[in-house]
Amino acid sequence: MPTAAGVTVHPTAIVSDQASLAPGVVVGPRCTIDGPAVLGENTHLIGDVHLHGDTHLGPGCTIYPYACIGFGPQHVKIRPGDPIGGVRIGAGAVIREHATVHASMYPDKLTIIGDRFYLMVTGHVGHDCIIGDDVIICNGAMVAGHCEIDDRVYISGKIAVHQFCRIGKGAMLSGGAGCNADVPPYCTLVDVNMLAGLNLVGMRRAGIDREEITIARRAFREVFRTRLDRASQIRRLDELGAKSAPVREMADFVRDSKRGVVSGDGRPRPHTLGWLRRVLRPDAWVDASELLEAGEPDGVA
């Protein structure tokens, strides 16, 4: 086992002779590292962690008890001992208890995850996924195999993302939602295959200019909340994208989609109706439809 100075391995841990541990690595009690795993500097396996096969963790990662990384995919054709690919996880990842990241089902391919990844308790990333930087996947969320998730995506708890789906940059998936089609950049997914608006908080935190956000909101209303065919969607996004980088990203995303893109249907979402019930007095004379036409509460495009 190639081990640098300053590495700490608990006596109850089992570490393969093929593994490579960089300076500052800590392998806690009852961890198992099986195969040619590579652990970057100052990575910490707290305890009861299982790493398998061709798994590389970047520097500064923290892996919590009972997380399993690098095992074969959940596929009926894959048996223990079959040749599989590997896993690559960037710097600063945090993977919490009972979370799983599966290796590629192809010996010459990888499941790839970027920097500053945060995978919460019981979250799952399936085989052959490609995930960007600063992605957060919350408790109990499930990302099936072959998905592509761009930078700064926030996936809330109990989400189900179907295999081969793409999630665009800066998108947010609300708790309990699901999709079997692509979610455009900066959009918010609610329910199943339904967009509710833009991830305005995420866009502001990313430093996107206010004027560009305003144009993106217009693009959402005109493209994703109306029933347009693909060609019409792309044409309108290209027009509005002349003055808004986020809209240009939406246009490219829709253009490249193979599964189709989820959209909103123009109807008020349940949380919007709940807001109306809270703000309207029982004796209020204002018609709810008038408020909806005037615009929904901040956070919903």
Give residue limits of the domains in the chain.
8-146
pLDDT of residue 270: 59
pLDDT of residue 5: 72
pLDDT of residue 4: 63
CB 144 within 8 A of CB 163: yes
CB 183 within 8 A of CB 165: yes
Provide the residue-wise pLDDT of the chain in tens; the chain has 301 residues: 555 678 999 999 999 999 999 999 999 999 999 999 999 999 999 999 999 999 999 999 999 999 999 999 999 989 988 999 999 999 999 999 999 999 999 999 999 999 999 999 999 999 999 999 999 999 999 999 999 999 999 999 999 999 999 999 999 999 999 999 999 999 999 989 999 999 999 999 999 999 999 999 999 999 999 888 999 999 999 999 999 999 999 999 999 999 999 988 655 555 556 666 776 655 554 444 444 444 444 444 3
Query: Of 296, 195, 202, 203, which is closest to residue 246 (Cα–Cα)?
Result: 203
pLDDT of residue 140: 97
pLDDT of residue 75: 92
Strand order in the sheet with 94-95: 8-9, 26-27, 44-45, 62-63, 94-95, 118-119, 136-137, 154-155, 172-173, 187-190, 194-198
The CATH classification number of 8-146 equals 2.160.10.10
